[in-house]
Structure 1
């Protein structure tokens, strides 16, 4: 399959007054056209920072090295004027926290229509028609009444679906959704999952950033596991959930309620405290002398990859 988005040796560091936070520390990953890739991991693992880097939405106080290539062009080297032609039109972003991501002083219809007017169509009547179609598509009805509603009148699930509508309004090729099920109930999680599944069937490439493992299991083609700024495992979805390889990934699945709620012992070390060894070794039950050196991302015969000496 053709790779549409490729991240190579991406490092994103945030300097502070007394240390440097290595939020993303050497990521290599590719996403094929029309694929759905779920990036999972604990809070603070660098998932959202990775997504923000793709669209150049990181704050100016961080240092970024490596490359993020979309159709061969390195997004990290493009001027802002060129990024604006891609952001929202070719690659769109659905932020987490829907209540805080929408402008409370503007109608939901106006905010959904903004990327259409910016990237696709200037005619106001056509924009309105497309917004009504999007509201119907995301099952916010009746659209003729809801188009003039303000965010405060929407439930959390409705706001989340509205953010997805904003993301796809510009007809992007790639949609990056950051924690799209965070803070919403089971019924609305199912609605968002169904909506994203429809987008996948329409051929949109999806990069889903989530700690909701059941959501990833229901939607993804492949799963990438992040821990402390590193990719620890990349596998086809079914193989991953049937039998994860990395000890951290195994621990994540064992911590689920249906698997007995067995938490991973210990806690993640701050990124500036690593000494060159495996980043998970202080919490790992398989730790051995060799783990004092950090393993590479080891490619396996079935196309999977895992960062663990157990598979070398």
Structure 2
């Protein structure tokens, strides 16, 4: 299969007041063309930092190291000017928190049209026509009236769909969506899910960052589980939900309402990333002496991968 995006030994470290937070700590992952990969995990696991690092959108107090290859080109070696020709065009980002991500002083149509103008078409009348088509596609109607509206007049679900429209406006090959269902009701979650499935049918490769397991189950081809800055399991969606491998992944599924709402004991600690052992062992019922050494990401016979000594 054709790999379109490949990440190797990615590290994202934030520095503040003399302290270093290792948000992403040696992530390896790849995505094939037209695939939908969902990266799941609890808050603070490093999911959003991973997505932002792929597009060079992290702040100045952040150190990024590793390899991020898009069609063979390492994005981390590009100048900002060269990266800007790819970001928003070939690779696009849908941020979380639509209310905060939209500029309140610009019309929604102008914000959706900006990536069209930058990456696709310079003729303003043609840009406007394309924005009208995008508004129709994301079911914000009538588009002729809504195109000149400001964000304050849109509901949360409409704003979220507008962010998706902004993401696809530059005709990307890969769309990275960060928590696209966060903070919206169930009807709007279903609407966003249907919209992203429609993008799949158009051949767009999707990397979806989410803590919404139901959303991931409905949309993804594969699941990657992230815990404490590392990928701990990568598996085909059906196999994952039928029987996850990593103890943390099992705990995630047991915490769902349909499985009895059983919480995972304990909590993630920053110190767990620094002692060289398995980062989940202090919360794991299977922990043993060997877990004092951190396991590698072990590839199994079916192509699944899991970071746990139980599978060595």
Shorter-chain-normalised TM-score: which range? over 0.9
Superposed, which structure 2 residues align to 1:27-38 within 5 Å? 27-38=27-38
Partner of 1:119: 119
Cα distance in 2 between the residues matched to 1:272 and 1:311: 21
- Is the 1:21–1:271 contact (alpha carbons within 8 Å) kept by the matching residues of 2? no
Is residue 12 of structure 2 the alignment partner of residue 12 of structure 1?
yes
The residue aligned with 2:203 is 203
Task: Check the 8 A contact 1:19/1:272 in 2, yes or no.
Answer: no
Contact 2:273 2:279 in 1 (8 A): no
Tell me the distance in 2 between the aligned counterparts of 1:263 and 1:274: 25
C-alpha separation between the residues in 1 aligned to 2:130 and 2:17? 48
- Aligned position for 2:72: 72
Displacement after TM superposition at 1:15 (Å): 2.0
Would you say the 8 A contact 2:16–2:61 is kept in 1?
no
User: Any idea what the Cα deviations from partners look like across 1:264-297, whole Å, max 9, x if unmatched?
Assistant: 0000011576311100000000001110110000
Equivalent position of 1:221 in the other structure: 221
Q: Secondary structure of the residue that 2:223 maps to in structure 1?
A: strand
Where does residue 166 of structure 1 map in the other structure? 166
Structure 2 segments unaligned to the other structure (5+ residues):
none
Note if contact 2:38-2:210 (Cα within 8 Å) is conserved in structure 1: yes
Stretch moving more, 209-218 or 11-20: 11-20
Query: How do residues 78-227 of structure 1 correspond to structure 2 at under 5 angstroms?
Result: 78-227=78-227
List per-residue Cα deviations over 1:208-243 (Å, max 9, x = no partner). Answer: 000000000000000000000000000000000000
**What does the per-residue CA deviation read over 1:147-192, in whole Å, with 9 as the maximum and x for residues that have no partner?**
1111000000000000000000000000000000000000000000
CA contact (8 A) 2:272 2:279 kept: no
Match of residue 298 from structure 1:
298
How far apart are the structure 2 equivalents of 1:9 and 1:92? 22
Structure 1 residue 254 displacement after superposition = 0.3
What secondary structure is seen at the aligned counterpart in 2 of 1:56?
coil
Residue in 2 that maps onto 1:39: 39
For this pair of structures, how many residues does the alignment match? 312
Is the 1:228–1:271 Cα contact (8 Å) retained in structure 2?
no
Greater shift in the superposed pair: 264-273 or 214-223: 264-273
Relative to the length of structure 1, the TM-score reads 0.99
Distance in 1 (alpha carbons) for counterparts of 2:155 and 2:15:
38
How far apart in 1 are the matches of 2:58 and 2:201? 30
CA contact (8 A) 2:253 2:259 kept: yes
d(CA) in 2 for partners of 1:130, 1:35: 26
For residues 47-86 of structure 1, the C-alpha deviation after alignment (integer angstroms, 9 at most, x for no partner) is 0000001110011111111110001110001000100000
Paired residues of 1:232 and 1:246 also in contact (CA < 8 A) = yes
8 Å CA contact retained: 1:246, 1:307: yes
Q: What is the TM-score when the length of structure 2 is the normalising length?
A: 0.99
Matched residue SS, 1:5: strand
